[in-house]
Amino acid sequence: MTLQECYTALGGDFDGVLGRLRSEALVKKFVLKFLDDPSYDLLCRSMAGEDYGEAFRAAHTIKGVCQNLDFTTLYRSSAQLCEALRNGFQPEAPALAQQVNADYEQTVSAIRAFRDSLSQ
């Protein structure tokens, strides 16, 4: 799997990120580092524990990372969740968190497939 194919699978904009970072090696480095980012786990724990301030911070971090890496699909859902949590809990937050969960799984699945293809 190429890095561009990975971006297609995760619903991202490869040309956008390449235009910003200017190096496929740099894009690859940050894409693979995404798997180690603890923000998603923090988001899940915070939502489950009804700590919406911490959930907002986690969603905001995910949104920022996804914006920088042009992970378009996950960026959009995390941005919606971020706004729903900005001033505390909103009734739509759980459904938005479920969408973030689905988009996150799609994203990390594509990145893992890309990472695994590097060792073949």
- CA-closest candidate to residue 34, choices 88, 112, 92: 112
Parse the chain into domains and list their residue ranges.
Answer: 3-118
The tokens describing 76, both together, are 């959009």
CATH of segment(s) 3-118: 1.20.120
Per residue in 61-100, pLDDT (tens digit) is 999 999 999 999 999 999 999 999 999 999 999 999 999 9
How far is 80 from 74, CA to CA, in rounded Å? 10
Taking the whole predicted model, whether its pTM rises above 0.85 is answered as: yes
Residues 6+ apart with CB under 8 A from 27: 3, 14, 17, 18, 21, 69
Task: Give 95-111 pLDDT, tens digit per residue.
Answer: 999 999 999 999 999 99
